[in-house]
Amino acid sequence: MPTRERRAVVLTGLILSLGITASSTSAGQTLKVGAIPDQNPEKLNRLYGSLAQELSAKLNVPVRYVPVSNYAAAVSAFRTGSLDLVWFGGLTGVQARLQTPGARVLAQRDIDARFTSVFIANGSSGLRPINSQDQLKQLKGKRFTFGSESSTSGRLMPQYFMKQASVTPADFAGGRPGFSGSHDATIAMVQSGAYQAGALNEQVWSSNVKAGKVDPNKVRVIWRTPTYPDYHWVARPGLDQRFGSGFTERIRTTLIGLKPDTARRRDVLELFGAKRFIPAKASDYAAIEKVGRQLGKIR
């Protein structure tokens, strides 16, 4: 083959190769959304399925919800790039950002800037409503459960407020607390009497009460914590390079712009237990990082 023709063949092959590579890359760009599994999987699938549809329509890219098995798995999947955009609790969000330099806090719900946990008790426990934080001492010797070990509202902050009242995990019956795994499970276990008391996030408690899933004759709130910042959206670095300039900011704008003006958007906001999302930044969670380090959850 003459030299000129060989060069033409090589050049054509190179162009085709580049074209195939670009096409494959474009076709493979799916935004993978995840969340800490803080509630039952059925609700999370419905919640994030609706959100994925809304994000896909607004961002004009395929969006897929990728469930994970536990809180630590959500942090790990974010660090390794298996998840691009994750709904983290306060503690897991801090852990994820510390392990993923360049990750960006995008937004929180209107209820997350001043979030609260509730302590609940089974009616047969003998526990009385708590009027001051110091009265948390009455939990000593009781069978007590947190939610997930890495939950901000189901473990970190309740343990922090108990520590201020000189109550440690070793003070519970059996010398340690239980870990139910999720807020829903904490309600079920305290209501059944498997545990005499527990702590969980107030938004989940309220939604279960509203849905008629709580028997007031068996379980009730005995204390509400002071406020603290909690859940937030965190995006991986590099999304602008993969999806185009300004993509991360478009995600933030889409989340903050969600209004209950369509059935799907109303469903999303209702499932999140929020009226809207608001801007958030990493410094909003400095207090959570400080508590996490004090309790050994961040090293």
Grade residue 209 by pLDDT with cuts at 50, 70 and 90.
Answer: very high
d(CA 48, CA 57): 14
pLDDT tens digit string along 228-260? Answer: 999 999 999 999 999 999 999 999 999 999 999
Q: Can you tell me the distance from the alpha carbon of 231 to that of 285, in angstroms, rounded to the nearest whole number?
A: 10
Cβ pair 136, 171 in contact under 8 A: no
Helix (H) or strand (E) holding 222: strand 219-224
What's the pLDDT tens digit per position in 75-97? 999 999 999 999 999 999 999 99
What is the pLDDT at residue 28?
60
pLDDT class of 19 with cuts at 50, 70, 90: very low
CB 102 within 8 A of CB 282: no
Tens of pLDDT, residues 263-297: 999 999 998 999 999 999 999 999 999 999 999 99
- Both ends of the chain: CA-CA distance in Å? 65
CA–CA dist 201, 112 (Å, integer): 11
Q: If you average pLDDT over residues 131-150, what whole number do you get?
A: 97
- The whole model's pTM is what? 0.84
**What are the residues whose beta carbons fall under 8 Å from the beta carbon of 67, sequence distance 6 or more?**
34, 37, 41, 44, 45, 48
pLDDT of residue 299: 84
Least confidently predicted of 7-21, 79-93, 125-139: 7-21
> Who wins on pLDDT, 237 or 24?
237
Mean residue pLDDT of the chain comes to 91
Check residue 119 and give its pLDDT. 98
Of residues 38 and 14, the one with the higher pLDDT is 38
Structural contact between residues 288 and 231, judged by C-beta atoms closer than 8 angstroms: no
At residue 88, φ and ψ (nearest 5 deg) are: -100, 155
Q: Put residue 76 in one of left, alpha, beta given phi > 0 → left and psi -120 to 50 → alpha.
A: alpha
Across residues 113-120, what is the average pLDDT? 97
Instruction: Say which residue the tokens 């995008």 belong to.
Output: 106
The arithmetic mean of pLDDT across residues 39-51, rounded, is: 90
Q: Is the pLDDT of residue 25 over 80?
A: no
pLDDT class of 71 with cuts at 50, 70, 90: very high
